[in-house]
Copies of this chain bind each other. A is one copy, B any other.
Amino acid sequence: MIMHKELPIISPDKFHDECAVFGIYGHEEAANLTYLGLYALQHRGQEASGIVSGDGDQFYIQKGMGLVADIYNKTTLEKLPGRMAIGHNRYSTAGGNDLKNVQPFNVNFAFGNLALAHNGNLINAQVLRNELEAYGAIFQSTSDTEVIIHLIAHSRASTFLARVMDALNQVRGAFSLVLMTDNGLIAVRDPHGLRPLCLGRVRGSWVVASETCAFDLLDAEYIREIEPGELVVLSDQGIDSHRPFPKVDPAMCVFEYVYFARPDSRIYGANAVYSTRKALGRRLAKESWVDADIVIPVPDSGVPAALGYSEGGGIPFETGLIRNHYVGRTFIEPEQSIRHFGVKVKLNAVPEVLTGKRVVVVDDSLVRGTTSRKIVKMLRNAGAKEVHMRISSPPIVSPCFYGIDTPTKKELIASNHSTEEIRKYITADSLAYLSLDGMLQSAPGVPAQYCNACFTEKYPIAFTRAEEMQLGLFGPSADVKKVM
């Protein structure tokens, strides 16, 4: 009997954004537009999705595992009435088909209905959970996000809004949050603004979304970003902005520019994802030019940086790798060993482009190196004479604790190997990363406004000793298990 191995298809050699959030208040088709918004934000989370709508009286819920286009249909959307809705895409639900961790979370408690969608990750969730459980709280999920709900329920503040502010001042970490009650929406971004959150308007209704590509599909107008530390209430009284947190320096994730955000999106107030990526490529060409015949991207994310490299370096751009877009969630690997199988399922080389050529191949980041190694070999098999790998961001040396799915420090090849060692491992003729300065100067605004912890280990939020132990940052095995 032949045994079949199931192969997960989501690339293990990229960082992954944890989530997308979306909210809309005051629109006849609230759930429909939320569906469209989540669809446009699919790249931020492909494992599960949920929508909760409200009609002022009741909440209505639809959730599922998989892609937005597969989860929702006429029947499910018609079960989501009401003029407000929030939605969430999730990258990963540890433990498979478990719907109980799929957001938005929604509960009925003393103040009525509450639903909540969260992009980010809390540093002190476990400590808070232990305390809450000691007071009799019963948790439904294993998600850190649920802590926020119990903090609200246990708060002794008198109004709902005050309770939310009370709760959020107890948590530390990254949060771009959308909450829904029977009366309206609350959108809030953590004091550092680690993850993006945007505000828009469509036909007199308010919308919030992780990125503006969600607004484009809706014909919504971009208004502005929700600022770091800002809390906004959307209701029949219009929009009301609050600043419930002590003021701190911004520390916005620079990786959104490097890889996460869609190139047609506007984030952090600037219209610059695509041009920043090209600028990273141009700068990379300046920092580490090599004499070659063609520049090719690792599709799709490497395309803008490769175009930038081609422009900056004066080397023709080609598409030497073709991507198969019909990829499912898992893939059956045959017993017969097939060279570079995992990569081949997604990419195939074009021999007529590559044969006899000196090739610069541009990728946005290099995490473990396993995929890069397969790509280099695949290019050589297809006839490339030389293969020069160029990475449009600096070496990644430490994990993210702010809502990005990253491997442990040990698995980050650059945390314990020199660039030359990595070059040998991936079998390239040459390898170069963009410098930290090069990256930060290519991004819009001032370098200081960005979090660059994954490249520098300089985390913008101080850890307590307990958290350091728990996250494995110190102690005998100073490493970290995947945060969630």
Q: Name 11 extra pairs, CB < 8 A, besides A67-B326, A73-B330, A110-B136.
A: A39-B326, A39-B331, A46-B326, A70-B328, A73-B332, A203-B336, A217-B348, A263-B322, A272-B352, A303-B319, A304-B319
> Which chain B residue has the least Cβ–Cβ distance from A323?
B300
Contact A149 B153 (CB under 8 A): no
Contact B4 A350 (CB under 8 A): no
Residues in chain B near residue A2, CB distance under 8 A: 28-29, 32, 78
Residues in chain B near residue A331, CB distance under 8 A: 39, 69
The reply on A1 being an interface residue by CB < 8 A is: yes
Contact B108 A136 (CB under 8 A): no
User: Which 5 pairs between the two chains have the least Cβ-Cβ distance?
Assistant: A69-B328, A136-B154, A32-B334, A42-B326, A110-B133
At the interface with chain B, which of A229-237, A285-293, A310-318? A310-318
Contact A348 B150 (CB under 8 A): no
Complexed CA–CA distance, A218 and B40 (Å): 34
Complexed CA–CA distance, A136 and B153 (Å): 5
Residues in chain B near residue A150, CB distance under 8 A: 136, 138
Contact B334 A33 (CB under 8 A): yes
Interface centre among A46, A74, A136, A318 (most CB of B within 10 A): A136
- Residues on A facing B (Cβ under 8 Å): 1-2, 4, 6, 28-29, 32-33, 35-36, 39-40, 42-43, 46, 67-70, 72-74, 77-78, 81, 107-110, 133-140, 149-150, 153-155, 203, 213, 216-219, 262-264, 271-272, 274-275, 300, 303-304, 307, 311, 316-319, 322, 324-332, 334-336, 338-339, 344-345, 348-353
Complexed CA–CA distance, A83 and B107 (Å): 34
How near does chain B come to A204, taking the closest CB pair, in angstroms? 12
Residues in chain B near residue A334, CB distance under 8 A: 29, 32-33, 36
Residues in chain B near residue A272, CB distance under 8 A: 352
